Amino acid sequence: MPTLRDVKKRIRSVISTQRITNAMEMVAAAKLRRAQQRIEQARPYAEKMDQMLGHLAAASTSEIVHPYFEQRETRKKTLVVITSDRGFCGSFNSNIIRRAVRWLDDNREYETELITVGKKGNNYFRIRPVPIIRFWGDWGGSLDYDRAREVVRFATDRFVSGQTDRIDLLYTRFLSTARYRVTSQDYLPVAPPDIPEEGDERDSVAMDYIFEPDAERIYAALMPGYATTIMVTALADSFASEHGNRMIAMNAATKNAGEMIDGLTLQYNKARQAQITKELLEVVSGAEALKG
Contacting residues for 111 by C-beta, under 8 A, at least 6 apart = 75, 76, 77
Per the annotation, the verdict on 89 as an active-site residue is yes
For 22, what's the count of Cα atoms within 13 Å in the CB-facing half-sphere?
11
The CA-atom distances, in angstroms, between 205 and each of 56, 62, 188, 202 are 11, 19, 28, 5
**Cα–Cα distance for residue pair 252/282, rounded to 1 Å:** 45
Annotated active-site residue in 89, 100, 227, 231: 89
**Cα–Cα distance for residue pair 194/215, rounded to 1 Å:** 15
**Cα–Cα distance for residue pair 237/218, rounded to 1 Å:** 28
**Cα–Cα distance for residue pair 79/100, rounded to 1 Å:** 8
List residues with catalytic annotation.
Answer: 89
